Structure 1
Amino acid sequence: MDNFSLFQSLPFQPDLHLTKVMLQRVQSLQQRGGKRQDGERLLRPHKAIYHLDFSLHALHFTPGACGRKVQGAGVFWRAERYGDDTPVHHYEADGQEFGERIEDLEKVRKTMYFLLAFEEGVGPDVFECSISFQVGQK
């Protein structure tokens, strides 16, 4: 019997409160003429915070995940003229590495946060995204 027969789809959920707080931080620094702290990333208006909540901890993106971490930004897109059943395109980050990174991190985290940047004409109000995993069966 196949050990990976059930799929679980996890939606990226907007974190409106955290996005608002981070935008207020930027505004406060600008008003006071302050500088960001070492290592602090400031949120820009075209960016928003999203999170994934893991309810099941038996996700498998691929058998034998290599465990390498994605560094830098991953860019994923689908042209407006294509329907929802069209595969998402990507570059700058291999889709498999993205999945493997999530698989590794979900073992130790209940929630994972993502900073998403939007191009002109797209934003949190029109954006829906999820990631699907195979759930291991015992």
Structure 2
Amino acid sequence: MAAEAGLLKLPFTHDDQLTRCMRLRFQSLQQKNLRPQDGEKLLQAHEHVYRVDFGRQDSLRFLRWDIQLDGPGKVTVTGTSQHWTPDLTHLMNRQLLEPAGIFWKKPGAREVECNEADAQEFGERVAELARIRKVMYFLLAFTEGLEPAQLKASIVFKA
């Protein structure tokens, strides 16, 4: 958590344990030939769980996303309305927030692009939830050849 002149930069942290746990739920259902609960969101192979820890819960104003991609591809960041729990394995589709932030980098490009209106609205929604959350979980879907190791992501607020 970096703070400079009233700025609060909160990094996205890959939650290995929760990602693994949600993948085990998916495998367990497959092995037992069972169907997921109605509306349950199962983690796909290209999706990973990340978290953002809010060290302070005063009024935060969303400023910008700080997304760096080391290679071409696309990452879709979807917030969850799920309150803190050690187990998100039964994440329901209705708990996924709209809009999602979609960030991409074209082959040979230096800059990461996004749909700015959706990214702005999504950031403001995260700022609202930060007032009542200590932790927020996100589903990140990596496509077009992008891998989690190629991502550095933070969200920047004015405190």
**TM-score, normalized by length of structure 2?**
0.68
Q: Which runs of 5+ in 1 are unaligned?
A: 63-69
Write 1 or 2 for the structure with the bigger share of strand: 2
Match of 2:62 in 1: 61
Amino acid aligned to 2:56: L
Counterpart contact for 1:76–1:90, Cα < 8 Å: yes
2:127 corresponds in structure 1 to 103
Whole-angstrom distance in 1 between the partners of 2:50 and 2:10: 12
Q: Distance in 1 between matches of 2:56 and 2:107?
A: 33
The alpha-carbon deviation at position 74 of structure 1 amounts to 2.8
Find out whether 1:81 has 2:108 as its counterpart.
yes
Structure-2 change in CA distance of 1:42 and 1:72 (3 Å): farther
What percent of counterpart residues are identical? 45
Cα distance change, pair 105–25 in 1 and its aligned pair in 2 (3 A) = same
Q: CA deviation at 1:76?
A: 1.6
**Which residue matches 1:67?**
none
Q: State the match for 1:134 in structure 2.
A: 158
SS of residue matched to 1:130: strand
5 Å-filtered alignment, 1:1-138, equals: 5-58=5-58, 59-61=60-62, 71-79=98-106, 81-83=108-110, 86=111, 88-91=112-115, 94-135=118-159
- After superposing on structure 2, the runs of 4+ consecutive aligned residues of structure 1 that deviate more than 4 Å are none
Q: CA RMSD in A?
A: 2.0
Unmatched 5+ stretches in structure 2: 64-96
- Residues 114-133 of structure 1, C-alpha deviation per residue, up to 9 Å, x if partnerless? 00000142222222111111
More contact order relative to length (CA 8 Å, sep ≥ 6): 1
Alpha-carbon contact 1:48-1:117 (below 8 Å) kept = yes
Q: 1:93 to 1:33 in 2, by over 3 A?
A: farther
Aligned residue for 1:118, secondary structure, equals strand
- Work out whether residues 57 and 132 of structure 2, in 8 Å CA contact, stay in contact via their aligned partners in 1: no
Matched-pair contact (CA < 8 Å) for 1:73–1:92: no
Length, aligned pairs only: 121
TM-score for both structures, normalised by structure 1: 0.78
Structure 1: how far apart are the matches of 2:143 and 2:99? 18
